[in-house]
Amino acid sequence: MAQSEPAESSRPCQDEGHQGDTADASPDRGWRGIREELRGRRYLDLSKDTQFSSAWLLLGLFLSLAGLLLQSGFLRATAATLFVVAAFGWTWNSLSLFGLHYRRSFSETRAFLGETIELTLEVSNRKLLPVTWLQITDIFPASLPVDEETVRLNRSSNLGEFTTFWSLGVFQRLKRRFTVRCIQRGFHSYGPAVLSTGDGFGMFDRKGTLGDRQRLIVYPRLYTIAELGLPAKDPFGGRDSREHLFEDPLRTAGVRAWEPADGLKRIHWKATARYQQMLSRAYLPSTAPQVLLVLNVATFPRHWLGHIPELMERAISVAGSLAAQCVELRLPVGLVANGFLPGSDQPLRLLPGRSPDQLVHILELLAAVTAFATKPIEELLLSEAPRLPWGSTLLVVTAIAHVELLATLLELQGAGRKVVLFTLAERPPERALPGITVYHLPHLVDDIILPQAMQDAETISGQVHRWKPGLQPEARPETKSDAAG
Amino acid sequence: MLLVDRRYALVNFCLAGMEMAWFLPFWLLIFSPSQPPWLSYMVLLAAQLAWIVLLDLLNRTQLAHPAFDLAALGLMILTSLLAVGLSLFQGRTADQAGGEIWQSLQSALDFSKGFPPGLALLVANLFLWQRATNATSRELSFFSVGVSFRLGLLLLIASAGLFTRLRGGNLLPLLWVYVGMGLTAIAVARINEKAAGAQSAGKPLPARRLLQLLLAVGVTAGCAALLSHLYSPAGLSSLFERLSPLWALLRPVIDFALWLLVVILTPILAGFESLLRGLLSGYQAELQPVPAPEELRLPSQLDFASRIPEWVWAALLRGAIALAIVIGVLLLIALLFAGLEKTRRASRQAEAEEESLELMSAGGGILTRGLRAWGGALRRMRSFELSRGLLAAISVENIYANLCRLARLRGYGRRPSQPPDDYLPTLAQAFAGQEAALARITAAYMRVHYGDHPVDAVELAQVREDYRAVRRVFSDQGPS
Amino acid sequence: MNFTEFAQTVQSNVGQVIIGKAETTELLLAALLVEGHVLLEDVPGIGKTTLAKAVARSLDCSFARIQFTPDLLPGDITGINFFNQKHQEFEFRPGPAFSQLLLADEINRATPRTQSALLEAMQEHQATVDGQTYAMPRPFLVLATQNPIELEGTFPLPEAQLDRFLMQVTLGYPSETDEEQILLRYQQNDPLAELGPVVTTAQVLEMQQRAREIHVNPDVRRYIVQLTRSTREHPAVDLGVSPRGTLALFKAGQALAALRGRDYVIPSDVQFLCPPVLTHRIHISPQVRLRGRTPAQVIAEIVASVAVPVVE
């Protein structure tokens, strides 16, 4: 349900539009038509969508004069009719947007990829005048289709337009329901809506804009633990910290002699009483069982090589699924990614936490993350890792397992960090990664057809490495044809 | 079919009516109106609609090229013969009519006695056929209907203006008919066009909304008719005289301008009028039935309208009036039934809602609710004992219950989850001006029902008086 | 002193320091009357500490504040037995929990073990240190605060522990007018420093006793039970309100009715108390939370769906 309720976005229409065509018409348009007609050339203004023009009033005046001169009641009555119809049309048009309410609401404002939600459009006319015609053009995301309806793509604005037609009687309210299929991840914006209406006689028209916007968030698809192929117990490996840098004041390992730096609460009073000397508690090392998801949005080692959207989507889904698993295991989980949110130029970053809304925040970020990588993933890892408390686990999710990334992972592992790699690359890492748990998930991308070039070769640092099954990679100098290909 | 498809039937009908409206004065200019103009109009409109139906049916036969043309030609000949025969040669036998029609066709180009009636009927039939052909292929967009309206209005002005100038008479009703039909056609065309451009439900305009549209058209035409009575030189003069200071300044200018126009235009208009009179006088004719040859002299030679006995006309008129009354009564009954059905449906829905709410609140069926009510009564007896206090408590609760019922009848029902104090502002809306009384009743009810406090005689009297005051408001204004 | 006088006196006194939060003060007083504890969840700088101090000073109660940190130990809350080398014996040094009004700031920053120490004291009104039980003073009210803007290294209270709080209340930002008023009020001096007691501890205890005598009609009682049972049957709720929560709503209703000058509870009182008393006691399913629905919305739906007992 839309929170603008009038959430859910029910607001009276603000008239921002023109009234008929006269406000927009150039001053001499009517005369130009007459001049063109006199020259024998047809002049039809096909953009004109209303009946009224200055000719109505001119004709009325002419008929009034003729009627007075010729003492013809019929001509005078015709003149009066023209004036009355124009006046009624103008008044009706002026009041057409008054008391008109448009409301857009969703059955859900968040959905997962592949789900459908119900969209309800409601229009109410709260006045004594009927609204014989009302056309509402609402901005819808072009990427989310509406069942049995068409969302037209406006090529100039690149926005989807959903046009509906309504005809309302006096104090009438109408409702229509549509089904939206959530087939693309992201933050999808609905609105604003432009309402076009006018008088029933087609004399004038006017437009009004409702600036309310609503948001529909489509989360990435989540895989189950079975689909990911993770072990049910300790999927991220056991925790064992041998470092003694940080102590846990709640876990006492023993006693030691009191030192001047020890606070009052560190003193072990019972031991002190027993041994008649000041003794302090010795604490066990402290570890923070935190998990940080590190997502690589790049699908090629070099960004100029291109981008495979579907591959990135799968990687995002894996990251989201892992976050859900962590939340289920009650682990504090955070997220960093080298992609960024629309409108920002900073990499995505959410500190680990275990609040009930943490998974919601992570999925929202994953729903919004774009494909453009702000920096290589290895740089991101090196910048983020030092900020983490000791004992944190790094879950690296990537569609490609290139050499630089693997080298960085090894470096982090050597420094004492716990690292788990989830790769969707076509082949598992060729080099050994001691101390790092690697999950190779090609079954998640089996249905994606990768570009032929990347199935045969990978260009790194100017050397082309040809990968063939069973053979060691051999480097050869880059040739012109390779660079061109 | 053009006149059956609900989306376009009304537009086609109105366009046909508009065309006949501007054609009629031209027809009457040639043939003086021995019958009332409205009758001529009805005949022309019926003929036009008949042609539209015939051509539509012909189109649907999907005949190939020569056969189609032959069929159209055959229709034209047949209808022309019918028109000539019915108008000019009534009461003849077939071979007599055939002979006389042949003679009439031979003298079709003989203008010595004025415009030949037979030729006029042929031309009119041709015109009707042409308009019907146009109707079967015309575009019913808002733009084209609008153009038809504007052009037709100009033609109507020209034709009716000329007719009233040259023949006298009043064709104002024709103007109202034209305006009414024109505005209706435009409005419906507008709706259809906008609906086609958007994702509408695809259904034709419902009857209720169509009635509202027709009401708007009727009000517009009615106001135009009213204003036209005031839009006379005397009326305008008296209006301007109300703006006396400004009128005093402008009058000389306007008078001079009018005088100038009169001086310049009068000779031109007078010359044009005399030219037209001259043209038409030579060709004016009366569309009367041709007298029978002598050997077949009919008892009396009457004009077209008076050949038919008076009692037939009277019977037809009475029949038409009776039919109109019957249709009106049937419509009223249908509306009444529709209204009753709607009320019944609403009350059924309300009952269903109440049932579901009862289930939600009571958490059980009738038996449980009954036991609960019995338990409540026992509890009340324990709280107040068998005394006046008990009766007073029951009175207060009943008063509040009735209050809620009256408010519900006025459309201000209480939501099941709405407590009495929260419901008070809604009650104040239902019974305007009784805020203090309603507050007292609500407070007393809450003290009795939730606090188990007894109500003394003074307070009970006050509550009763407050309730009577509210009831008076309800009686005065009635349920909504 | 009757309840109305009590409420007005304390509220107006607190109102000299906390501007525009009469409703929150009323809820705190209701919690005080039923000896329940309150969880204040709000962003920093809203005035949580100031509110607690103002209430404590108005009631002439002893006040203590604990800033919870990850290295806080249970003994730092309840107290420790330290060895007096001079007397060669252990002496109990009571912790800040032995105050009549205790402000536990950022309770979610302490470890679960430390949190439990406080929560047990709240529940039992006593603390056990090294086998020796010490009773809490009366009245005893704990105001715990949580920062909703999650920082790393926090331990949100689990559902079972949240249930021990009678109410969860938010202060919220002041309105524009109120915020201007704050500037004016605090321009020259600190009104909190000038605040004095307006009721005595004995009066508070008496009010607590009398609050239990407020009449609750069987229909209202049934209504309370229907509300809490509905939370267990709602499809969006994984864990509904416990009987402890039902009792909390019942008692809070009595206190609120008393503060509003009535000797009986009405359904409006119950509906007013549902959000602060029930919201933190339900656990909605993760799928529902992912759809953007919050526990507060679910409680509002439940309140709107249960019929109020009215004779019609």
pLDDT value of position B411: 86
Q: How many angstroms away from the CA of A64 is the closest CA of chain B?
A: 9
Q: What pLDDT does A441 receive? A: 86
Residues of A in contact with B175 (CB under 8 A): 74, 77-78, 81
pLDDT tens digits, A87-105 = 999 999 999 999 999 999 9
B451 has a chain C CB within 8 A of its CB? yes
Non-local (6+) Cβ contacts of B429 within 8 A are: B412
The residues, any chain, with a CB within 8 Å of residue B177's CB and separated by 6 or more, are: B17, B21, B41
CATH topology of domain A97-219: Immunoglobulin-like (2.60.40)
* Among B194, B139, B144, residue whose Cα is nearest residue A51: B144
Residue A286: predicted pLDDT = 56
Look up residue A20 and give its two tokens. 């008929």
Any residues with CB less than 8 A from the CB of B179 and at least 6 apart, and which? A81, A85, B220, B221, B224
The shortest CB-CB distance from B194 to any of A78, A133, A149 is to A133
Top residue of A215, A265, A274, A384 to mutate, by most chain C CBs within 10 Å, is A265
CB contact under 8 A, B414 and C310: yes
The residue that leads in pLDDT, B162 or B389, is B162
Q: Do B450 and C264 touch (CB under 8 A)?
A: yes
B106-161 pLDDT, tens digit per residue, is 555 666 666 677 777 888 888 888 888 888 777 788 888 888 899 999 999 988 88
CATH 3.40.50.410 is the classification of domain A291-450: yes
**Nearest chain C Cα distance for residue A339, angstroms:** 22
Terminal-residue alpha carbon distance, chain C: 38
Measured between beta carbons, the chain B residues lying within 8 angstroms of A168 are 209
**Between residues B291 and C160, which one has the greater pLDDT?**
C160
Which alpha helices (DSSP H) does A52-103 contain, by range?
A: 54-70, 73-95
pLDDT at B306 over 50: yes
CA atoms of B428 and C273, how far apart (whole Å): 26
Contacts of A109 in chain C (CB under 8 A): 291-292
Per-residue burial over A193-210, b if 16 or more Cβ lie within 10 Å, else e, is bbbbbbbbbbbbbbbbbb
How remote is the C-alpha of B417 from its chain's centroid?
45
Q: Look at C308 and B416 and tell me if their CB atoms are within 8 Å.
A: yes
Interface touch B172/A75, C-beta < 8 Å: no
Instruction: Enumerate neighbours of B (3 or more CB pairs within 8 A).
Output: A, C
Retrieve residue C308's tokens. Answer: 């109020």
Predicted confidence (pLDDT) at residue B85 exceeds the cutoff of 80: no
Q: What is the pLDDT of residue B203?
A: 67
Q: Residues of A with CB below 8 A from C150's CB? A: 351, 353, 355, 358
Query: Which positions 58-87 of B are in contact with A (Cβ < 8 Å)?
Result: none
Q: Would you kindly state where each structural domain of chain A is located, as residue ranges? A: 18-95, 97-219, 249-284, 291-450
Q: CB of C153 within 8 Å of any CB in chain A?
A: yes
pLDDT at A457: 37
**Domain extents in chain C:** 3-202, 213-305
The pair phi, psi for residue A441, each rounded to 5°, is -120, 60
Residue B414 contacts C, CB cutoff 8 Å: yes
Alpha-carbon distances of B65 from B55, B71, B72, B120, B135, rounded to whole Å = 15, 10, 11, 29, 20
Q: What's residue B65's pLDDT? A: 75
Q: How many CB atoms lie within 10 A of CB B93?
A: 10
Count chain A–chain B contacts defined by CB atoms under 8 A.
134
Contact B35, B304 (CB under 8 A): yes
Q: Which of B47, B29, B41, B17 is nearest to B120 (CA)?
A: B29
A97-219 against A291-450: fold identical: no
Q: Which residue has the higher pLDDT, A116 or C116?
A: A116
pLDDT number for residue A19: 37
Q: Which of the two residues, A65 and C265, has the higher pLDDT score?
A: C265
CA distance C305 to chain B (A): 6
Nearest to C211 by CA among C28, C35, C23: C35
User: A318 is written with which tokens?
Assistant: 């894996």
| pLDDT < 70 positions in chain C | 149-154, 312
Confidence check: pLDDT of A401 > 70: yes
Name the pLDDT band for A288 (thresholds 50, 70, 90).
low
From A353, A355, A359, residue closest to C290, measured CB to CB: A359
Residue B296: pLDDT band (50, 70, 90) is: very low
Chain A residue with CA closest to B179: the answer is A81
Nearest to C289 among A267, A332, A356 (CB): A356
| Residues B216, A130: C-beta atoms closer than 8 Å | yes
B453–C264 C-beta distance less than 8 A: yes
B379 touches chain C (CB under 8 A): yes
Closest CA to C42 of C141, C175, C166, C149: C149
| CB nearest B194 (choices: A64, A80, A135) | A135
The reply to whether residue A389 touches residue C152, judged by beta carbons under 8 angstroms, is: yes
Average pLDDT of B417-431?
A: 93
Mean pLDDT in residue range B355-374: 59
Looking at this protein, which amino acid is placed at residue B408? R
A227 three-class SS = helix
Over residues B46-62, the mean pLDDT reads 84
Cross-strand pairs, A178: A119
Tokens 């003794």 belong to which residue?
A279
Whether residue A23 is predicted with pLDDT greater than 50 in this model: the reply is: no
Q: Do C292 and A249 count as a contact with CB atoms less than 8 A apart?
A: no
Size of interface A-C (CB pairs under 8 A): 64
Q: Do B419 and C303 touch (CB under 8 A)?
A: no
Hey, which of A55-59, A141-145, C4-8, C120-124 has the most confident mean pLDDT?
A141-145
Q: Which chains touch C (3 or more CB pairs under 8 A)?
A: A, B
Does the distance separating the beta carbons of A269 and C81 come in below 8 Å? yes
* Mean pLDDT score, A160-175: 91
Instruction: Count CB atoms within 10 A of the CB of residue B101.
Output: 19
Which of B95-99, B411-415, C205-209, C296-300 has the weakest average pLDDT?
Answer: B95-99
The answer to whether C41 contacts chain A (CB < 8 Å) is: no
CB A397 within 8 A of CB A295: yes
The residue with greater pLDDT, A60 or C70, is A60
Specify the pLDDT at position B115. Answer: 64
Domain boundaries C213-305, CATH class? mainly alpha
B54 in reach of chain A (CB within 8 A): no
Residue A61 to residues A64, A66, A80, Cα–Cα distance (Å): 5, 9, 9
The whole-number average pLDDT for the span A285-308 is 82
From A196-205, A275-284, B52-61, B187-196, the region with the lowest mean pLDDT: A275-284
**Selected residue of B417, B423, B445, B446 to mutate for chain C interface (largest C Cβ count, 10 A):** B417
- Chain A residues whose beta carbon lies within 8 Å of the beta carbon of residue B209: 130, 132, 167-169
Say which of A272, A334, A354 has its CB closest to residue C156. Answer: A354
Which of B379, B450, B453, B455 to substitute to test the interface with C, most C CBs within 10 Å?
B450
Q: Do C153 and A334 touch (CB under 8 A)?
A: no
What is residue A467's predicted lDDT score, i.e. its pLDDT? 31
How much is the ipTM here?
Answer: 0.86
Nearest CA in chain B to C306: B417
Contact A334 C152 (CB under 8 A): yes
Q: Chain C closest CA to A169's CA: distance in Å? A: 32
The lowest-confidence range among A191-200, B341-350, C228-237 is B341-350
The CATH label, of 3.50.50.60, 3.40.605.10, 3.40.50.300, 3.40.190.10, for the domain at C3-202 is 3.40.50.300
Instruction: Return the pLDDT at A255.
Output: 77
Q: Does A331 touch chain C (CB under 8 A)?
A: no
Model confidence at A348, pLDDT cuts 50, 70, 90, reads confident
**Chain C contacts of B405, Cβ < 8 Å?**
312
Q: Measured between beta carbons, which residues in chain B are less than 8 angstroms from residue A72?
A: 161, 164-165
Is the CB of residue C297 less than 8 Å away from at least one CB of chain A?
no
Nearby residues of C214 by Cβ (< 8 Å), 6 or more positions away: C254, C255, C257, C258, C262, C263, C264, C265
Taking alpha carbons only, the member of B284, C299, B220 closest to residue A81 is: B220
Range scoring the smallest mean pLDDT among A369-383, B178-192, B197-211: B197-211
Question: Could you say which of A49, A77, A135 has the minimum Cβ distance to residue B231?
Answer: A77
pLDDT tier for residue B358 given thresholds of 50, 70 and 90 = very low
In chain B, what is the straight-line distance between the N-terminal and C-terminal CA atoms, in Å?
Answer: 44
Mean predicted lDDT score pLDDT of chain B: 78
State the Cα–Cα distance between residues A50 and A201, nearest whole angstrom: 9
Listing DSSP states for B196-260 in one string gives HHTT---PPPPHHHHHHHHHHHHHHHHHHHHHHHH-SHHHHHHHHHHTHHHHHHHHHHHHHHHHH
Closest CA–CA distance from residue C111 to any residue of chain A (Å):
9
**Smallest Cα–Cα separation from B230: which of B217, B222, B239?**
B239
| Model pLDDT, residue B274 | 76
pLDDT tier for residue B409 given thresholds of 50, 70 and 90: confident
The residues pairing with A283 across neighbouring beta strands, listed in sequence order, are: A252
Q: How many CB atoms lie within 10 A of CB A467?
A: 16
Q: Determine the distance in angstroms separating the CA of C226 from the nearest CA of chain B, rounded to an integer.
A: 8
Residue of B nearest to C214 (CA): B451
